[in-house]
Chain A
Amino acid sequence: MLLTLFCGSLFSVNSLSSHHFQAVLVSAKSSNVNVFDKKDIRRLFLGLRPIHSQQTNIPIINTSNRKAYKLFLKNIMFLTERGYERKLIKRVFRQGADKIESFDSINALTKHLKQHPDNITFMLKQDALSRPDLKIIQALW
């Protein structure tokens, strides 16, 4: 009984986290980016080429909201922050992959996306909805 209650409690916390932190994939309003397979989003943010999509968009890491960033790593990348950073460094310096740019200010990120319509990033749905210069491509979770 105790075990059941404990598991139930954990489930509720996770559900609450995801519900309160709904996230979306976004690009500039002027972009022609279409919906991605989630496996391709993972590949793009690892510096790999997508398999299911012909789109070759440039990923941008959004660290302006630490909670959303960690949930993105957990839900989409299946990695911890430490594991993700380790994989990125290895790809750049082992395989010559492009370094993925990162922004810790959502205003600077929005400005960057406006200037680079082929770039994509993730952010909280409420943040994306409040920025008319951005287009929601798809829900992430």
Chain B
Amino acid sequence: MFAGIASKGDQFLADYPNTGLYDDDISFAPDSSFGVQLKTRSSDKLEFIIQLISHGAHEFQNEIDWAYINYNIDSELSLQMGRKRLPLYYYSDFYDLGFAYYWVRPPSDNYTWQITNYNGLSLVYEPELGQWDASFNLYFGREDDKENHLLTFLASNTPVNESWKNIIGFVAELSDDIFEYRFTIMSSQLNRQIGNIVLSDDVGQLFYGLSVNARIDEFTFLSELNHYERSNDNISVNTSMFSFGYKVGKTIPHITYSSLKQKQQAGSGDEQHFTVSLGARHNLNKTTALKVQYDKTTDKGISTPIVGNGKLLSFGVDFIF
């Protein structure tokens, strides 16, 4: 449960995928979410997993984040079929689980994607590599989203239908106690319709990114570099994030810089914004964390501004049970 108030600018878009939008009055809905994860096992090899979530930004309507069957092929390999989170970015899988990171929400300039889930197949390989933990995930699928929250908001509430077809992606992760490396790549065909106008029809898109994290004693360093391109539409976007935290007892103060820059090309936009965030997380106990964060966003887009410059103070509590 989080509250926030935009102290400069009429609006502050804190959460792109869920369209968590603050204004200059204190509000509790934009960053608040409630979720429950259920699992049932029919045998040693077969499980059904479901995750329901309700976002304040969506008036707390229940949504299905996960609904998939997991089949353990052997000790290292499993096949999943159904609805899952689209694992584009480092925090995509658990974006809504604030307890798992120290910010109020993952840096918004990085997490600007409009499709967050997919229906399809996912193959996960988790081999034994000594003191290293490794995971390789190959996935295929599709997502059709009617009246997409983010795009409809950006199109001044004209309904936007978005489909990503023939999604094929791969994620590789390697970690030990100190370092964490993650590589991600995904391609698909995009279809977009604004009102009755078909804007994109099976346009190829490519996304890839790299994350490197390190935790040495009390010191934390997090980073993420991503690239997105849609060649036929002359769209090429780079996003980046760098964050430093230092644990003092049960509290982790942190500072983060995140940015999105669209390469200017003929017929494309000029979306460009960056944010500096200062915050702290205090672990009350093993299941509860208090957070406070101050964000200052600079929006440099001229033909493609998002909501302009803004400052936001937000605070709240994350708990798991």
Contacts and interface: CB of A to CB of B under 8 A. Distances in A.
Given A39-B128, A49-B75, A96 B99 contact: no
Given A51-B128, A96-B39, A46 B133 contact: yes
A93 B37 contact: yes
B233 interface: no
B212 to A, nearest CB: 16
From A43, A50, A95, A96, residue with most partner B Cβ within 10 Å: A96
A50 B75 contact: yes
From B51, B128, B247, residue with most partner A Cβ within 10 Å: B128
A39 B100 CA distance: 26
Nearest to A84: B177
B44 interface: yes
B174 interface: no
A90 interface: yes
Interface residues of A, number: 23
Interface of A: 39, 43, 46, 48-51, 56, 78-80, 82-83, 85, 87, 89-90, 92-96, 98
Chain B interface extent, by class: 20 to 34
Contacts of A93: 37, 93-94, 97, 100
A132 B219 CA distance: 44
Given A95-B124, A98-B39, A51 B177 contact: no
9 contacts: A48-B126, A51-B76, A51-B128, A90-B100, A93-B37, A96-B47, A96-B49, A96-B66, A96-B70
Nearest to A78: B131
A47 to B, nearest CB: 10
B25 interface: no
Interface of B: 37, 39, 44, 47, 49, 51, 66, 70, 72, 75-76, 93-94, 97, 99-100, 124, 126, 128, 131, 133, 175-178, 215, 247, 286, 320
Contacts of B124: 95
A78 B176 contact: yes
A90 B49 contact: no
A78 B175 CA distance: 12
Contacts of B178: 83
A92 B66 CA distance: 13
A67 to B, nearest CB: 19
B270 to A, nearest CB: 35
B318 to A, nearest CB: 11
Contact of B99 (A50, A78, A89, A94): A89
A48 B94 CA distance: 19
A60 B72 CA distance: 22
Contacts of B133: 46, 87
Contacts of B37: 92-93, 96
A89 B100 contact: yes
B106 to A, nearest CB: 14
Contacts of B320: 89
Contacts of A48: 75, 126
A79 B75 contact: no
B72 A83 contact: no
